[in-house]
Copies of this chain bind each other. A is one copy, B any other.
Amino acid sequence: MPVSPITFFFDFSSPYAYLASTQIEAIAAQHLRDIEWVPMLLGPVFQATGSKPLVDQPLKGDYARIDIPRSARYLSVPYVHPDPFPLATYQAARVLIGLQREHPAQAVPWLHRCFAAYFTHNRNIAELPVLDALAAEQGLPADTVARYTNDPTIKAQLKANCDRALEEGMCGAPFMLVDEQPFWGVDRLPQLERWLQTGGF
């Protein structure tokens, strides 16, 4: 019987999603699971939960500025807090969706490239020229970014991803599903791993 993938909902502007993205593949591989990467936008989630970006919240913002880089050090993952933060990620997400459709082997490298560009090299992935440069560095055709960011069916897919995330109960990023069990946050990876090891606990 084929096992279901780990579903990984994320917004490219989430540092905790970035951190989790560096860990989840090893966990999935160990348990012979695939990963279904679902790019989405946190805006609708903030709207639904009555929340806003962590760094814009009193007290929580100050804590996040300590906790995010410390969590990166804890996981031995490089991290440089970017500026501006957060930023609009729908263009980067659309490119990912385009690659998932047409060049699946290029999709995960793009995902890691965008996260690393933003969270370790402070490259502004909201800007199309930056995305063009990243695409070129990955060896993608020159029209990749323009084509995917303007494709109405890709725009619709991104919207559908957001709707699906909300339907699944996503309340923050990263939000992961294992056999319909939800895990929110890079700090839930140990529980997610226990779930995979034990088949649920």
Interface size, A (range) = 20 to 34
Least Cβ distance of A7 to chain B in Å? Answer: 15
Assembly stoichiometry (copies): 2
Cα A47 to Cα B49 in complex, Å, equals: 17
Closest to A75 in B: B191
Please indicate the chain B residues that have their CB under 8 angstroms from the CB of A66 in the complex: 181-182
Within 8 A of B (CB), among A127-185: 166, 169-172, 181-182, 184-185
- Contact B74–A194 (Cβ < 8 Å): yes
| Interface of chain A, main secondary structure | helix
- Contact A184–B58 (Cβ < 8 Å): no
- Contact B184–A71 (Cβ < 8 Å): no
- Contact A50–B57 (Cβ < 8 Å): yes
Q: Which of B50, B67, B184 contacts A67 (CB 8 A)?
A: B184
Cα A73 to Cα B57 in complex, Å, equals: 31
Least Cβ distance of A109 to chain B in Å? Answer: 30
